[in-house]
């Protein structure tokens, strides 16, 4: 009888330890971190997916931006989301400077959009890009390496303008 109880105790203890190890590993995987150079942070966003972030300084504005670095992330963008919190955004990081077009497909809220060149200067702005504007595509006048989507009104409230320097932290 005690041999059966010892086996049950061993199995239960083993299961608890295994679950605990996996849980601690999961917490470490999704906890916000910083790269050795402090360039990007990770954390959990939607549906448990791990996302990368960068802090962006433009004039008076400090934006915590989710990075869209893959084609799939860039195609999805902010589509389907219900809102964008103050001082947050999405930074599209492209592999080369080009005239990258932005549209409002499947968007549920208006945004301000900045195109940023390879020298980290704002080179084009569209304020109050609305969901009703789809299927219009907005194109910058000059090539950009980055596009930043931010809450509507941020450009005006923080005095962001073409030619301003952008700091990626």
Dump pLDDT digits (tens) for 53-69: 999 999 899 999 999 99
- The dihedrals phi and psi of 155, each to the nearest 5 degrees, come to -60, -50
pLDDT tens for each residue of 94-122: 999 999 999 999 999 999 999 999 999 99
List all residues 6 or more positions away from 79 whose beta carbon is below 8 Å from its beta carbon: 105, 106, 107
Sign of CA dihedral 138, 142, 145, 149: negative
Cα 97-57-108 angle, rounded to 5 deg = 75
At the topology level of CATH, where does 34-168 sit?
A: Jelly Rolls (2.60.120)
Number of Cβ atoms within 10 Å of the Cβ of 34: 11
- The dihedrals phi and psi of 31, each to the nearest 5 degrees, come to -70, 140
Q: How confident is the model at residue 7 (pLDDT cuts 50, 70, 90)?
A: confident
User: For residues 67 and 58, what is the distance between their CA atoms, to the nearest angstrom?
Assistant: 16
| Greatest pairwise CA separation for the chain in angstroms | 82
- Residue 11's pLDDT is what? 72
- Residue 51's pLDDT is what? 65
């Amino acid at each position: 009888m005690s041999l059966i109880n010892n086996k049950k105790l061993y199995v239960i203890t083993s299961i608890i330890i295994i679950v605990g190890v996996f849980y601690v590993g999961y917490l470490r995987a999704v906890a916000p971190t910083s790269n050795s150079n402090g360039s990007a942070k990770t954390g959990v966003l939607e549906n448990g997916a791990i996302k990368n972030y960068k802090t962006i300084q433009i004039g008076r504005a400090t934006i915590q931006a989710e990075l869209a670095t893959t084609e799939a992330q860039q195609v999805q963008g902010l589509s389907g989301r219900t809102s964008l919190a103050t001082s947050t955004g999405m930074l599209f990081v492209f592999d080369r400077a080009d005239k990258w077009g932005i549209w409002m497909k499947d968007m549920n809220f208006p945004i301000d959009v900045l195109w940023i060149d390879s020298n980290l200067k704002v080179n084009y702005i569209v304020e109050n890009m609305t969901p009703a504007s789809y299927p219009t595509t907005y194109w910058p006048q000059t090539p950009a390496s980055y596009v930043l989507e931010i809450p509507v009104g941020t450009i005006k409230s923080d005095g962001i303008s073409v030619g301003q320097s952008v700091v990626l932290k």
